[in-house]
Amino acid sequence: MTNSGHDWWFINHSTTDPTRPTFLGVADGVGGWTESGNDPAEVSQGIMFHANRILEDRSTSQTDDSPQSLLAKAFQATLKDDQVRGGASTALIAQLDPKTARLHWANLGDSSMLHIKAGAEKVGAQTKAQTHSFNCPYQLTKFPAEYSTHDFDPDTPEMADSGTQILEDGDIVLLFTDGIGDNLWTEEIRSLARLILKSKAEWNVADLVPALAHTICHGAHRASFQVCLRITFVFCSTHL
């Protein structure tokens, strides 16, 4: 396991077969497990690692897993992984299918997928957070060996919210954890994307992707330190 904070991600993209689906994922280890001496990053890294490994182990023709099916298989592999001692994580897996120009996703917890239409004039689709209560998202749990019994029914991959969206040339698809979502409204993210797109007459993808990521992450980081901009998190805490 890597000491990298609680969040983890993967991208599985073929550079040799343009018809093969691209899979992306983000996961956020649940920090409450630190109180019992467990590293929340282990489960988030485990799910993302095994999702990517499952895809890598397959031949080019064997990529028919849906995001929800892949999430379930990756979680089962994490449960069997002796290097993952215990903890819990949210998880989001998305699939970009070049044959059908469709985006498919499965999201369990409060990470987010945001689809922004070409030109960043409007939002096409987005996931909804799944929470049991304020600051308690749905989560995939691996109980440590010393937890012989537990007094609640854990969430399962089958509980993930899934969806499909048609994509068009120039659309933007963002995946992020609650470090972004707790500090920026959807409309603020769309506006930042639009500012980036308008800042140059023409962008190539290699330059646009890091520019978008840097700007949105910087905006969320800046907002997290400004009381007047932390309305998103406060609003949710008082309305859930």
At 108-161, the pLDDT tens digits run: 999 999 999 999 999 999 999 999 988 789 999 999 877 766 677 899 999 999
Q: How confident is the model at residue 103 (pLDDT cuts 50, 70, 90)?
A: very high
> What's the pLDDT at 105?
98
Task: Tell whether the model's pLDDT for residue 60 goes beyond 50.
Answer: no
174 pairs with which residues across the strands?
Answer: 114
Amino acid at 81: D
Task: Tell whether the model's pLDDT for residue 36 goes beyond 90.
Answer: no
91 pairs with which residues across the strands?
Answer: 27, 108
Asked if 105 and 92 count as a contact pair (C-beta separation under 8 A), the reply is yes
Which CATH superfamily includes the segment(s) 7-171? PPM-type phosphatase domain (3.60.40.10)
Asked if 157 and 108 count as a contact pair (C-beta separation under 8 A), the reply is yes
Task: Tell whether the model's pLDDT for residue 20 goes beyond 90.
Answer: yes
> What's the pLDDT at 6?
87
Percentage of the chain modeled with pLDDT above 70? 88
112 pairs with which residues across the strands?
Answer: 176
Asked if 168 and 117 count as a contact pair (C-beta separation under 8 A), the reply is yes
Task: Tell whether the model's pLDDT for residue 57 goes beyond 60.
Answer: yes
> What's the pLDDT at 235?
52
Residue written as token pair 């007459």: 201
Task: Tell whether the model's pLDDT for residue 61 goes beyond 50.
Answer: no
41 or 59, which is more confident?
Answer: 41
For the chain, give every domain's residue range: 7-171
Amino acid at 203: W
Task: Tell whether the model's pLDDT for residue 39 goes beyond 70.
Answer: yes
> What's the pLDDT at 227?
56
Which of the 8 DSSP states describes residue 132?
E
pLDDT of 194-237, one tens digit each?
A: 999 999 989 999 999 999 999 999 999 998 887 555 555 555 55
Which of the 8 DSSP states describes residue 130?
-
174 or 18, which is more confident?
Answer: 174
Mean pLDDT of the region 97-106: 97
Distance of CA 144 to the CA centre of its chain: 24
pTM for the model stands at 0.89
Helical spans, DSSP H, in 57-185: 67-80, 178-181
Mean pLDDT of the region 181-203: 95
